[in-house]
A and B are shown apart, each in its own frame.
Chain A
Amino acid sequence: MNTNVTAHDALVDNYLRAVGQALTGVPAYRRDELLQDLREHIAAGRAELGEDETEAEVRSLLDQLGDPAEVAAEARIDTGPTPPPLLQLQPSKRIGAAVWVLIALGLCAMLCVGALLVGLFAVSRSTVDGKTPAPAPVVSAMHS
């Protein structure tokens, strides 16, 4: 058994901790997923090295994986407000949003006009009945 295995484990742990720290702000499930992928990669590499792995070999394995900040930055790419860049999806989504805004505006306009008409109708009826046009029916009409 290699007596330095614990020292090598510590190197790996430090590396993974550095990646983990650089991942602040990335959703937990994605952070765990990436750390798991890296852990597996390292485990596979060390299994190939065998029990007489050297510190230099373990360091080289981690160097190949790259700078923790750089790896974390790559994981950050799709944490922004826009979804991952998967070609055709983007434009149609934007068009979709515009359509929804227009529909919402249209509905608002229709509701306002409707409420106004109901209010006017209520006022005209109460005037015909010979009563003074009180605001109360208008308010209740708008709530109905």
Chain B
Amino acid sequence: MATQGTVCGMDGPAALSTALRRGTLEFCVLALMEDGEQYGVELVRRLGAERTLTTSEGTLYPLLARLRRAGRVATVWRESPSGPPRRYYALTPDGHAALKVFRTEWSAFRDTVDRIVGTRAR
């Protein structure tokens, strides 16, 4: 760990990534389930490999738990041909609705930031 100040969110690239992930990562998780239910371990591995989005696989489980409690995803256990039973995650109607709202909000948000900061794609 770098010996940065930890007083606020303005103290370095790590803090910036954390701040940017807040509020966006959960919708990336929801989007991965949009086309159908996903095996939890696979989901976590896929996202865990995206280093701009996550720091590690383990940090995704508390997020999945929050989404379950918020009623945005539902889970079901299925037998596995090899190994222990598998937990599958799927979007609830609430989850679908939340993702739809996010898409609208995000497009407007991204456009505004790009315009003001000067990061519009060419």
Contacts and interface: CB of A to CB of B under 8 A. Distances in A.
B101 A70 contact: no
A88 B56 CA distance: 28
A84 interface: yes
Nearest to B45: A64
A77 B55 contact: no
B96 interface: no
Contact of A34 (B23, B55, B62): B62
A108 B105 CA distance: 42
Contacts of B45: 64
Nearest to B41: A44
Interface in B43-62: 44-45, 48, 55-59, 61-62
B65 A70 contact: no
Contacts, number: 79
A65 B82 contact: no
A40 B87 contact: yes
B58 A47 contact: no
A77 B62 contact: yes
Interface residues of A, number: 29
Given A30-B65, A75-B62, A86-B70, A43 B84 contact: yes
A52 interface: no
Given A41-B44, A66-B56, A70-B55, A47 B64 contact: no
A70 B80 CA distance: 30
A48 B83 contact: yes
Contacts of A44: 41, 83-84, 86
Given A85-B22, A86-B70, A87-B98, A65 B84 contact: no
A74 interface: yes
B23 A64 contact: no
B66 interface: yes
Given A33-B65, A34-B65, A40-B87, A45 B41 contact: yes
Nearest to B48: A64
Interface of B: 22-23, 40-41, 44-45, 48, 55-59, 61-66, 69-70, 80, 82-84, 86-87, 98, 101-102, 105
12 contacts: A37-B61, A37-B65, A41-B40, A48-B83, A64-B56, A70-B55, A71-B58, A71-B61, A74-B59, A74-B63, A84-B70, A85-B22
